[in-house]
Structure 1
Amino acid sequence: MTTRTLTGGCQCGRIRYTAQVDPAEAYLCHCKMCRRATGGVSVAYVNTPHDTVTWEREPDWYQSSAIAHRPFCAHCGTPLGFAFLEGGNLDITVGSFDDPTPFRPSKNYAVESMLTAWTDVRHLPGTTSGENDAVVKRWQAAGMEPPE
């Protein structure tokens, strides 16, 4: 296990954190509850003990089931993770890290709910954000460059 200290937070910047995680131990959850909670076809998490996460500002939490709750930002809606009500660990959404590139998936969870059509999309045509003129113009009109 190679632990690294990484930072992250929500889209609007209201919620920020520092976490000690092992990027080689990330995983994809395919359960229906996580799909609904994030709006994604799956969600990438990394699991770490609660005491290895330092919040600059405590996130908002909601109880998503009888056994779990989830941290998020009530201002921008960014899902930040998952935790059992009883337990010492927290799953942090990989997409909420400032630099998610070190993370590598090590397993799939809840494969009975996996949407297999979405597991490998490399064969589909793709475009970069910069190739979408309508979006680029909107960002430029707002005085900014398109985000990556």
Structure 2
Amino acid sequence: MTMTGGCQCGAVRFLVDGELGEASICHCRMCQKATGGLFGPFVGAPFEALVWTRGEPKRFQSSNKVRRGFCGDCGTPLTFEYGDRHVSLAVGALDRPAEARFTEQLASPAQVPYFEDLASLPVHPLEEPAAAVYLAGIVSYQHPDHDTEAWEVRRQDA
């Protein structure tokens, strides 16, 4: 199995030539802060099968045991690295995130109290007039969900 992925701006891309491991969501406060979300969604990858095909992530040592990789240009979370040879990838950074099926939740006591209620929230169809007008005006600068020969990274500070 080959899986590709990368950051939002396209400055960092990766390829995994091997089977992905277990996918989990972690509710710990460290994962919440690292992703800016309610939980950290990660899937294991064979360390020796991970190749950075464009750029490399910057890394932050978030604890004595874990480093987290992210794009230095757009900030997209990319990795959860523990030990010398263990890596998990942010599921949202995969080009085909639906292929990483979650099998467990970690650090559940730290989850936000309303997490269980999220699935019951109302869903607004994209065809609703207000949503359709809003979406029609969006021009995405995000890298597509596939590899490209070249990609111009848009930088706001340049």
Aligned residue for 2:114, secondary structure, equals helix
**Could you tell me how far apart the structure 1 residues matched to 2:110 and 2:8 are?**
28
Deviation at 1:67, TM superposition (A): 2.3
- Normalising by structure 2, what TM-score? 0.77
CA contact (8 A) 2:47 2:86 kept: yes
Equivalent residue number for residue 22 of structure 1: 20
Percent identity over the alignment? 35
CA contact (8 A) 1:21 1:47 kept: no
- Normalising by structure 1, what TM-score? 0.81
CA contact (8 A) 1:130 1:136 kept: no
Q: Over aligned residue pairs, what C-alpha RMSD do you find?
A: 2.3
Change in Cα spacing, 1:88 to 1:143, as seen in structure 2 (3 Å) is closer
- Name segments (4+ residues, structure 1) moved above 6 Å: none
Equivalent residue number for residue 109 of structure 2: 112
Change in Cα spacing, 1:143 to 1:58, as seen in structure 2 (3 Å) is closer
**Pair 1:79-2:74 in alignment:** no
Residue correspondence of structure 1 range 1-148 to structure 2 within 5 A: 4-19=1-16, 20-22=18-20, 25-56=22-53, 57-84=55-82, 86-129=83-126, 131=128, 132-133=131-132, 135-139=134-138, 142=139
Deviation at 1:119, TM superposition (A): 3.3
CA contact (8 A) 2:5 2:94 kept: yes
Aligned residue for 2:121, secondary structure, equals coil
Equivalent residue number for residue 151 of structure 2: none
Gaps of 5+ in 2: 145-158
Change in Cα spacing, 1:122 to 1:143, as seen in structure 2 (3 Å) is closer
CA contact (8 A) 1:10 1:16 kept: yes
Paired residues in the alignment total: 138
Aligned residue for 2:3, secondary structure, equals strand
**Could you tell me how far apart the structure 2 residues matched to 1:88 and 1:104 are?**
23
